[in-house]
Amino acid sequence: MTAVIEVSHLSKHFKGVQAVDDVSFTVEENTIHGLLGRNGAGKTTLMQLITAQDFASSGDIRVFGESPVENARVLQNLCFIKESQKYPDEFQPKHVFASAPWFFPNWDAAFAARLIDDFRVPLNRRIKKLSRGQLSSIGVIVGLASRAPLTFFDEPYLGLDAVARQIFYDRLLEDYGEHPRTVVLSTHLIDEVSNLLERVLVIDEGRIIVDEEAESLRGSATTVVGTRAAVDAFVAHREVMHRDQLGGLASVTVGRLDQAGRVEAAEAGLELSPVSLQQLIIQKTNVSHTEFEVTS
């Protein structure tokens, strides 16, 4: 495995705001990473730093083993699809697709044409007149058809409907299978993408709080529901992550359960329900928030 991105002790502060706070991680070649976190957590700032669109306050960034800042060798291998890409006023979608090959040496025009068809992008309408979703489709098409060795999607699908999002996921998986590359996907729609991800980075208040394989996060928490006495007995020797109570009933989230634990729960008459990646991250980002309030 080779690291495509190596970040160490990276910080970025704006006036009075610590947007990225002493962050270190690596992204391995040919993986799909999820960069998840709440609004204002520092996702976009982090991606801007890695793609050299902004300067770090301190710390080190290596992309393909080199500093990305004003480095054409690195930058020509990058594609960064932003939430709201700006285009020249007179541009039509066909101009975007016609100019893309100038920036992306691996551009596949046939794949782009197929995606334009899938997403039903009107080629000859002025970009200003396009809907929010249509504008997002253009970004998604550029991101996929550019086949850049390192592609960032920052909330690529604002305004995209469920059908179009599914097309994006399907085409991404298909094309990634045939042309492996490194993809960093930042999104709030965690449940929709959780199966696509190989590794998950969660950023909260500028710090990385989770950096794990998606598969090891899956099933790492289970909610146990039943009568209070039965639940209490079951969780007595387990670590409790979260607890809700309603009259005589209790609902408690605990860590991973093995087969014996599941049998024990079933025999105690308890209901088990899995905790999705999205719920897990909500719990984690909430916990660190309260810790932050206590320490400040």
Member of 94, 218, 228, 242 binding another protein (CB under 8 A)? 218
Instruction: List the end-to-end C-alpha distance of the chain, in Å, as a whole number.
Output: 40
Q: Does 215 bind another protein (CB under 8 A)?
A: yes
Cα–Cα distance, 62 to 37 (Å, whole number): 23
Closest separation in Å from C-beta 276 to another protein? 5
Least distance from C-beta 170 to another protein, angstroms?
7
- Rule CB under 8 A: say whether 209 interacts with another protein: no
Which residue's CB is nearer to another protein, number 12 or number 171? 171
Nearest to 277 by CA among 202, 170, 204: 202
What's the min distance (Å) between Cβ of 143 and another protein? 18
Measured distance CA(281)–CA(203) in Å, rounded: 10
Task: Give the residue, chosen from 47, 115, 148, 214, that forms a contact with another protein under the rule CB under 8 A.
Answer: 214
* Binders of another protein in range 5-34 (CB under 8 A): 31-32
Of 178 and 293, the one with the shorter C-beta distance to another protein is: 178
Task: With beta carbons less than 8 A apart as the criterion, state whether 8 and 24 touch.
Answer: yes
Across 141-285, the runs of DSSP E, i.e. the strands, are 150-154, 182-186, 199-204, 207-213, 221-227, 240-246, 249-255, 271-274
- Joined tokens for residue 225: 């529901």
Q: Judged by CB, which is closer to another protein: 106, or 279?
A: 279
225 scored as a contact of another protein (CB under 8 A):
no
Q: What is the C-alpha separation between 200 and 81, in angstroms, rounded?
A: 19
Q: Which residue type does 231 have?
A: V
Binding flags for another protein, 159-178, as an x/- string (CB under 8 A):
----------xx--xx-xxx
Q: Find the part of the chain contacting another protein (CB under 8 A) among 96-104, 133-141, 232-240, 261-269.
A: 261-269
Rg (CA), the chain: 22
Q: Give the total of residues touching another protein (CB under 8 A).
A: 29
Half-sphere exposure of 257 (CA within 13 A, CB side): 24
Residue 276 binds to another protein (criterion: CB under 8 A):
yes
Residues lying near another protein in the complex (CB under 8 A): 31-32, 169-170, 173-174, 176-178, 195-198, 214-216, 218-219, 222, 259, 263, 266-267, 269, 272-276
